[in-house]
Amino acid sequence: MAQKPSIPKGTRDFSPAEVSKRNYIISVMRSHFEKFGYQPIETPSFENSETLMGKYGEEGDRLIFKILNSGDFLDKVPSDELQNINYKQLTGKISEKALRYDLTVPFARYVVQHQGEIEFPFKRYQIQPVWRADRPQKGRFREFYQCDADVVGSTSLWQEVELVQLYDSVFAELGLEGVTIKINNRKILSGIAEVIGASDKLIDFTVALDKLDKIGEEGVKKEMIEKGISENALVKVQPLFSFTGTISEKLEKLSGLLSTSEEGKKGIEELRFICDNVIKLGLQKANLDLDVTLARGLNYYTGAIFEVSAPEGVAMGSIGGGGRYDDLTGIFGLKNMSGVGISFGLDRIYLVLEELHLFPQTVTTSTKVLFLNFDESQAFEAMKAITFLRSQNIKVELYPDAAKIDKQFKHAERRNIPFVVKEIQGTTFILKNLISGEQSENDLSGILEKLA
């Protein structure tokens, strides 16, 4: 018996209509990336393991897909090591490559490797799939696309201002109103950890805080205590869990909370510059909000942090995120190369647009007109007309077989093809609109006028 086909959990097949909708989102992003001066690059789907490991924190490292070495991957492992297996040590010997976890670390590697060819500041965008060994759920997949825009070689905070505008311009064209661009700063988180006496637990503090919307205040406090953060520290951090007001009011509250932390005060000034200028310049559709609990559990952020949430009422995780990283390329040997970037979550944006019925109807339109096939001689006449219409950028095709007319009509209806040419009489074509039922006689220029 033939094996029933299947695909791995967390992956998907895409129908023609789904691919058309995804391509629509990508085309909107690409046009805005290029409008803002970003240039396209691509990197391999897999990297050397050493490039990726240790860059995303302990949780991230666990989610990286490792690739077994080709051939007999156990051949070079001593037999005594196989009998007394240490999985962490063994992994390095049987797997030297891994699927990329995101596009940012490979981009940092690219910058260092090609620094002699790059004009800095370098603005790049990248639209490619990434892989994470995560637990599949709604809006979370093991294979998914990221759409990133980054600029390296500049410490100017105008880059952050521009990235907020980029988010807003993309979502505005997609018709997605009410998204919230949340912003915070890693220096503020460092300052908070400092004033509560938990600087040595900064990573544990931020990872726990980043889960606030998932596990709630009590869950975050419980995790912090488990990680060794004191009860006294939690009392000091309590104001963070009910931090309300305008951006300006929140910045004033932070100024009081972080008055003894130079690092924290620097973070406040950076946020004030970004937020003030974004507000003065204005946004089309998006909202900007300062979220002091926004941490993002990635170790490489050093300044501003971004996260984008879907409009209220749509049950979806973040649909974008990013931030400033001052020393990412340093891990590959290139010092003092600050960068900042954002990512759009294509798959989640797709689900949001689908739920809100925001895809234009024309997105999934493929073939505009189908020529019916009666016999070989008329098929040739049809192909002459089809060749002309294609030269005029009309999507058109010939039904390949001289099948029953009813079968050909049903094929057009199932494919949502709006027009058929049902008969050819010399230079006259009988065109039928399958939506309205209207039928007309036309020459080629008449058909072109109706279809254009």
Tell me the two tokens of residue 330: 């340093």
158 with 324: CB under 8 angstroms?
Answer: no
| pLDDT score, position 154 | 94
Tell me the two tokens of residue 347: 């798959």
| pLDDT score, position 261 | 92
| pLDDT score, position 74 | 65
Sheet holding 304-309, edge to edge: 39-40, 122-131, 143-152, 339-345, 320-325, 304-309, 180-185, 287-290
Q: In 3-state terms, what secondary structure has residue 78?
A: coil
Residue 34 CB: number of other CB atoms within 10 A? 12
411 with 383: CB under 8 angstroms?
Answer: no
DSSP annotation of 4: P
Tell me the per-residue pLDDT of 196-253, one tens digit each, with 9 for 90 and over. 877 777 777 777 877 877 788 888 888 888 888 888 878 777 877 878 899 999 999 9
Tell me the two tokens of residue 287: 């909202």
Q: What's the rounded Cα separation, in Å, for the pair 303 and 322?
A: 10
Q: What's the rounded Cα separation, in Å, for the pair 447 and 452?
A: 8
Q: What's the rounded Cα separation, in Å, for the pair 49 and 250?
A: 42
66 with 98: CB under 8 angstroms?
Answer: yes
Tell me the per-residue pLDDT of 33-64, one tens digit each, with 9 for 90 and over. 999 999 999 999 999 999 999 888 788 889 99
| pLDDT score, position 85 | 62
Cis bond before residue 400 (omega within 30° of 0): no
| pLDDT score, position 78 | 66
Nearest to 422 by CA among 392, 382, 388: 382
Tell me the per-residue pLDDT of 296-331, one tens digit each, with 9 for 90 and over. 755 678 899 999 999 988 988 889 999 998 877 888
Please classify residue 362 by burial: count the beta carbons closer than 10 Å to its beta carbon, then call 0-12 exposed, 13-18 middle and 19+ buried: exposed
Predicted structure pTM score: 0.86
Q: In 3-state terms, what secondary structure has residue 174?
A: coil
| pLDDT score, position 207 | 77
| pLDDT score, position 297 | 56
